[in-house]
Structure 1
Amino acid sequence: MPKPIVYILDPYHPDAVTALQNNPSIDVVLKNDPRRDNWHADATGLMIRSETRITPTDLAQAKKLKVIVKQGVGVDNIDLSSAKDHGVVVCNTPALNSESVAELTLTLALSIARRISEVDRRVRRGEMVVRSQTLGQSLYQKAIGIIGMGNIGKVVARKWIGAMDGRIVAYDPFAAPDAWTDIPHRRVQALEELLDVSDVVSLHVPLTDSTRSMIGKPQFERMKNNAILLNCARGGIVDEAALTDALTTKKIYGAALDAMDVEPPTIEAYEELLQNQNLIMTPHIGASTMENQIKSGLAVVETLIAVLEGEDVPNRVF
């Protein structure tokens, strides 16, 4: 029988690529291979990341496709309904990104609070920075409101307590009543209650119909004037026009986005938003540490091989 053909459509760490190539029972087509654009013809498996979108048209054309494995948690770039209709297994790598995304979350919170990027830009422009006129704010013993206390949200909570001796306000309507018993926290039943009391608001939810634009003008009106908004989850959760207005009018202290509507972000798409010095924007790099890319990439390879060999895997989306 012919070997299954696996296409690597997005960048993967060399260790993961080598691990797949070392499997003698699989043919591998790399990202830079000219055959990549014609993967629909003979692909048995796909390894993707957020860069590639798998549409209903793709799935209808890919007659031999059996499995798609995406590095990371979110699978909103895959048409899951069409995949199910065509009998294609979809898997992800949940929990593996938690530490690296949580690290970036705290990094961004501190950078906004202490105006790090703003001051750095001013120094690079040769400006005189008067310290008494460039005061930041301390996050010591402040409250972070975590929207979505899943794998990443829980790690953020633990790091916040350890680093800031801070308080946790948690909102997650889908979690069990007895969730997070090992983490000191205050659980709220309404998003508005979290916004009213949080010094930092951090998003850790998937993009769904219920979370799309869940942070917009009414929510910014509820937030404290010194509040910091962090989105290390998915673009679309924050109404970016409302955020632009909130930053420009100093309705909130600042914001940091590692996920946005347009990815990768461009000057053309975000010219107005980027005028705000109290904003940091990074191009979806929450998972981008060397350690995490190796671990996650190898997990993708292991999952893909297991599915092709007929094994059941715990990280199957459906």
Structure 2
Amino acid sequence: MVFPVLILDAPNRPLLHTEIEQCLAYGLDITLNLHYFADPGSIKIHYAGRIRFVDINGHDTPALISAVVTAGGYSVIKTRLNIPLGAALINAAASPDLGSPLQAIAQAGVGVNHIDLHAAAERGVTVLNTPGSNATAVAEYVLAQTLFLSRDLNLYNAKTQQGQWSKGLLAPALQIAELTLGLVGSGRIAQAVAHKAQALGMKVIVTGAERFTPSVAASLGLQWRATLGELLDEADVVSIHTPLTALTKGLFDSTAFSRMKPGSILINTARGGIVDEGQLALFMKRFPGHIKGVAIDTFAKEKDQFDSPLTGVANAILTPHIAGNTRTAIIQASTQIVEQIQAFRQSMLQG
């Protein structure tokens, strides 16, 4: 059974070779998109005769649709960089008129809000992802930012870089074991953060999905809170680990910021849109110090469209969606998603 797979945005070398060789070992019929590589020529030479190649800007939906249709379709489109895969693409790629209609979208990562899940469901397209593959990486990022901001290292660095000896400028910071960490969300990443925070002596409280009951929290050594408001009343550090949905969009607005403890820290490694960046920027300017600092890794507008009201705001640490971007996390996501593609293929053969 021919099972063509389009790798839309593969990792760079040497991780690329690991992914391609794993795909070939499973006998997958691979087409690699070269658009995002700085040196596509050497890749073509290396894999000549073993895989096919295309050059498509994945963010150009009409061009992507045209390429998919021209190729006769792909059973799987594999992605990792949150390229939008909307209804127009899914409908065209899943057309029964194609030789290989789309059967699955494989996301090497956790979030799938860039995929039109409704369109996928209507077309019978399975959506695969790799929950937990970057949990350790994100947890390390959260703790790094917690340490950085709680010790005022951003401020001390700025003053010292300006040639000022600023010791004594601020009140001595609390040690990390004196802080309470509040987790908004209760999935694998949140639990990884909790585990590492507990190892440092932090008290960890959590509010999450309905299935995350007080007894489940207690079994993990965590303290359950019924509402976001209760958590905000108590947490010194608030870390967001919930999907972006209609219910969580704009969840952190001026009302939530006002309820946070004076001198608390906010960290978002989940999805842009959960935190209202405009309201946060305005709040931090109007009430300096109420929020001691923020670390924001995901934004409503990212990549080429990146623009945030938080740029230039004091005590705001902004990073370009790299919390889960470690070598190990990328390898794990790549390995897991290829294994899922192969398992999906086997299920199709058996079904």
Q: TM (normalized to structure 1)?
A: 0.89
SS at match of 1:229: strand
Of 119, 125, 146, which residue of structure 2 is paired with 1:109? 146
Note if 1:78 corresponds to 2:97.
Answer: no
Number of equivalent positions: 307
CA shift in 2, pair 1:208/1:6, >3 Å? same
Of 278, 282, 307, which residue of structure 2 is paired with 1:241? 278
Note if 1:6 corresponds to 2:5.
Answer: yes
Note if 1:27 corresponds to 2:30.
Answer: yes
Note if 1:137 corresponds to 2:173.
Answer: yes
SS at match of 2:9: coil
CA contact (8 A) 1:109 1:200 kept: yes
Of 65, 71, 86, which residue of structure 2 is paired with 1:55? 86
Of 287, 295, 302, which residue of structure 2 is paired with 1:263? 302
CA contact (8 A) 1:20 1:28 kept: no
CA RMSD of aligned residues (A): 2.2
CA contact (8 A) 2:159 2:166 kept: no
- Give the Å deviation of 1:19: 1.4
Q: Distance in 2 between matches of 1:40 and 1:174?
A: 40
**Residues 154-176 of structure 1: per-residue CA shift (max 9 Å, x gap):** 1111111111x111111114224
- Give the Å deviation of 1:301: 0.8
Q: Distance in 2 between matches of 1:17 and 1:87?
A: 27
Counterpart for residue 21 of structure 2: 18
Pairing 1:1-318 to 2, within 5 Å after superposition: 3-12=2-11, 13-14=15-16, 15-32=18-35, 33-36=53-56, 37=64, 38-41=66-69, 42-62=73-93, 63=95, 64-124=101-161, 126-134=162-170, 137-138=173-174, 139-163=176-200, 165-177=201-213, 178-248=215-285, 249-250=287-288, 251-264=290-303, 269-270=307-308, 272-310=309-347
CA shift in 2, pair 1:135/1:28, >3 Å? farther
Moved over 4 A (4+): 121-124
SS at match of 2:130: coil
SS at match of 1:273: coil
CA shift in 2, pair 1:136/1:54, >3 Å? farther
Q: Distance in 2 between matches of 1:302 and 1:173?
A: 28
CA contact (8 A) 2:186 2:209 kept: no
SS at match of 1:11: coil
CA shift in 2, pair 1:265/1:56, >3 Å? closer
Q: Which amino acid aligns with 2:291?
A: I
Q: Which amino acid aligns with 2:78?
A: M
**Among the aligned pairs, what percent are the same residue?**
27
Q: Which amino acid aligns with 1:255?
A: V
CA contact (8 A) 1:8 1:31 kept: no
Return 5+ residue gaps in structure 1 as ranges: 313-318
SS at match of 1:58: helix
Q: Distance in 2 between matches of 1:84 and 1:39?
A: 23
Decide which moves more: 37-46 or 238-247: 37-46
Decide which moves more: 103-112 or 198-207: 103-112
CA shift in 2, pair 1:265/1:216, >3 Å? farther
- Give the Å deviation of 1:311: 5.9
Q: Distance in 1 between matches of 2:348 and 2:157?
A: 52
- Give the Å deviation of 1:21: 3.4
SS at match of 1:261: coil
SS at match of 1:206: coil
Greater relative contact order: 1 or 2 (C-alpha under 8 angstroms, separation 6 or more)? 1
SS at match of 2:256: helix
Q: Distance in 2 between matches of 1:247 and 1:9?
A: 39
**Residues 167-222 of structure 1: per-residue CA shift (max 9 Å, x gap):** 11111142242213333232111111111111011100000011111111111111
Q: Distance in 1 between matches of 2:219 and 2:303?
A: 37
**Residues 131-151 of structure 1: per-residue CA shift (max 9 Å, x gap):** 221556333321111111111
Q: Distance in 1 between matches of 2:7 and 2:114?
A: 16
CA contact (8 A) 1:145 1:169 kept: yes
Return 5+ residue gaps in structure 2 as ranges: 36-52, 57-63, 96-100
Q: TM (normalized to structure 2)?
A: 0.81
Q: Distance in 2 between matches of 1:187 and 1:156?
A: 15
Larger Cα-atom Rg: 2
